Amino acid sequence: MGRFDEKFKIVGGKPLCGEVLIDGSKNAVLPILAATLLVDGRSIIHNCPNISDTWDSIGILRHLGCDVVYDGSSLVVDASGAVSAPLPNAYVEKMRSSMIFVGSLLGRFSQIETIPPGGCMLGERPIDLHLKAFEAMGVVFEGGESLIKGKAATLKGTKISLSFPSVGATQNIMLAAVLAKGETIIEKAAKEPEIVDLQGFLNAAGAKVSGAGTSTIVIKGVKALKCPEYTIMPDRIVAGTYLVAGAITRGEVTLKNAKYQDIFPISDALVAMGYKIYNDGNKITLTTKGGIIRPLSLISTGPHPAFPTDMQPQFVALLSTIQGRCSRNCESMVKENVFEARDAHVPELAKMGANITVAEGTHFTIKGAASLTGAVVDAKDLRGGAALILAGLFAQGETIVNNAYYVKRGYADIVGDLRGLGADISIF
Ligand code: EPZ
């Protein structure tokens, strides 16, 4: 079956129970794979998730002259033979996050050529903050709207104040700055845990980066990086997705190898809904037992440590199944503040009987239903597709989720993971 024809089939109605191991983080491994270009030698990375975005990043590294060996978990990149070449259009069009290679190509070769990454279902996804930062470091761009082509005599450290704490822009500036001349200070930087992981990898290679996880990051340029060995952090969004799988089926799910300090905004929201969460170090358990599950008056997404936008579709699905016992109207509100159009999952959930109204693509009003009905639905993006699978776990009867490839971009084995918790799910 071609990868673009695969679908998920879920038969819902069963509470999920059991333990699931959380893989390495997609949004940490992608910038770290780009960072291996900065090392004139070998980088060894463990706990790399076996997802299509990892394989696409390997494709880009090989296109740029690197030797890459990957066994599905540990990955070795030898970038000693890396060359400065235009990023391959096929990857840039398919994977927006290929933009993260711009920072490391500038950092290694002081030049870049690529087509601008496309927008996607979430919104326009501009890259103005990235380009403005690179110009401040001495890059001169040519090529106009349809081409990102730039070079610098030498990259110079400077102070950059971001108008929005963009994750990608923060990471791209770090990558361009580690070998630049002098010191770079990023103000109003993104504080996501994946930024902290990138700092960990870069410092393991001998870079001098500090402040990741706060809004001010300082990078002191060094002459060269040495060969690092590093282990990727667990994926906090996969962890949150599986907690919601336990919540939406009113079951009991334990995560192994998840980091509580990365998922507290998600667990706080679940506790506010009446679920119980227990954290005993490297195991985090959600249970429905003993809780009165109720709607959420408001949940607002935002830059970390706010509630993560990458969990918004999953929570819209969960809240669609929660009526509550309140006398006044039992509605939940979700406000999406990061992307202007992260609502493609709403009409698909409506096919299953969910009662959701959306204003301006960002304000969701959700009236929980006692039950949903299985239907044929279309995944339109990664997290929206995961949300449809979660809704299928709750719905009565069979749900088919088309375009499985979107979900496979960010979940290494969602079928195996959910089956291990007792779900009736397959891919065909
Ligand atoms: C990263 O995307 C993640 N992707 C996204 O996860 C995540 O949703 C997002 O951060 C926010 O947390 C990866 O890490 C690979 P941003 P990124 O730059 O870096 C605007 C998933 O499902 N903006 O923080 O692209 C932008 O339009 C994916 O795993 C500008 O205006 O996110 C958006 O509204 C989806 N100009 C907001 O900032 C810029 O130059 C957040 O974007 C850059 C961004």
Which pLDDT score, from 0 to 100, does residue 329 have?
59
Tell me, using a 6 A CB cutoff, whether residue 125 lines ligand 1: yes
Which pLDDT score, from 0 to 100, does residue 289 have?
87
- Give the distance (Å) from ligand 1 centre to CA of residue 173: 14
Alpha carbon distance 307, 266 (integer Å)? 6
Ligand 1 pocket test, candidate residues 26, 27, 141, most atoms within 8 A of CB? 27
Tell me, using a 6 A CB cutoff, whether residue 407 lines ligand 1: no
Alpha carbon distance 262, 264 (integer Å)? 6
- Give the distance (Å) from ligand 1 centre to CA of residue 214: 18
For residue 327, pLDDT over 70 is answered with: no
pLDDT digits (tens, 9 = 90+) for 154-199: 999 999 999 999 999 999 999 999 999 999 999 999 999 999 999 9
Q: Which atom of ligand 1 is the closest one to the Cα of 165?
A: 24
For residue 2, pLDDT over 60 is answered with: no
For residue 110, pLDDT over 60 is answered with: yes
Which pLDDT score, from 0 to 100, does residue 1 have?
47
Tell me, using a 6 A CB cutoff, whether residue 187 lines ligand 1: no
Among protein residues, the one with the nearest Cα to ligand 1's atom 43 is 127
Tell me how many helices (H) and strands (E) the chain has.
14, 23
- Give the distance (Å) from ligand 1 centre to CA of residue 297: 26
Q: Which atom of ligand 1 is the closest one to the Cα of 171?
A: 19
Burial class (CB in 10 A: 0-12, 13-18, 19+), 424: middle
- Give the distance (Å) from ligand 1 centre to CA of residue 169: 9
Phi, psi of 340 (to 5 degrees): -85, -10
Q: Which residue has the higher pLDDT, 328 or 264?
A: 264
Which pLDDT score, from 0 to 100, does residue 143 have?
74
Ligand 1 pocket test, candidate residues 164, 192, 343, 360, most atoms within 8 A of CB? 164
Neighbours of 346 (CB within 10 A): 21
Q: In this structure, are strands 183-187 and 159-161 parallel, antiparallel, or unpaired?
A: parallel
Which pLDDT score, from 0 to 100, does residue 146 have?
86
- On the CB side of 6, how many CA atoms lie within 13 Å of its CA? 15
Tell me, using a 6 A CB cutoff, whether residue 30 lines ligand 1: yes
Alpha carbon distance 218, 187 (integer Å)? 9
Name the nearest CA neighbour of 97 among 38, 172, 180, 25: 172
Tell me, using a 6 A CB cutoff, whether residue 51 lines ligand 1: no
Tell me, using a 6 A CB cutoff, whether residue 168 lines ligand 1: yes
For residue 201, pLDDT over 60 is answered with: yes
pLDDT digits (tens, 9 = 90+) for 67-107: 999 999 999 999 999 999 999 999 998 888 999 999 999 99
Tell me, using a 6 A CB cutoff, whether residue 166 lines ligand 1: yes
Q: Which atom of ligand 1 is the closest one to the Cα of 410?
A: 29
Among protein residues, the one with the nearest Cα to ligand 1's atom 17 is 168
Burial class (CB in 10 A: 0-12, 13-18, 19+), 396: middle
Q: Which atom of ligand 1 is the closest one to the Cα of 308?
A: 12
Q: Which atom of ligand 1 is the closest one to the Cα of 237?
A: 29
Name the nearest CA neighbour of 352 among 404, 389, 315: 389
C-alpha Rg value of the chain to the nearest Å: 22
Q: What letters, b where the CB count within 10 A reaches 16 and e where it falls short, cover 42-60?
A: bbbbebbbebbbbebbbbb
Write down the residue that tokens 């929201």 correspond to: 269
Tell me, using a 6 A CB cutoff, whether residue 167 lines ligand 1: yes
Tell me, using a 6 A CB cutoff, whether residue 409 lines ligand 1: no
- Give the distance (Å) from ligand 1 centre to CA of residue 125: 7
Which pLDDT score, from 0 to 100, does residue 117 have?
85
Encoded tokens for 284: 């985090």
pLDDT digits (tens, 9 = 90+) for 352-379: 999 999 998 899 999 999 899 999 999 9
Which residues are identified as catalytic?
A: 120
Alpha carbon distance 142, 150 (integer Å)? 6
Which pLDDT score, from 0 to 100, does residue 119 have?
64
Name the nearest CA neighbour of 158 among 140, 146, 176, 142: 176
What average pLDDT does the chain have?
Answer: 95
Tell me, using a 6 A CB cutoff, whether residue 169 lines ligand 1: yes
For residue 384, pLDDT over 50 is answered with: yes
DSSP state of 12: -
Which pLDDT score, from 0 to 100, does residue 392 have?
98
pTM equals: 0.97
DSSP labels, 223-288: S-----EEEPPB-HHHHHHHHHHHHHTT-EEEEES--HHHHHHHHHHHHHTT-EEEE-SSEEEEE-
Q: Which atom of ligand 1 is the closest one to the Cα of 53?
A: 15
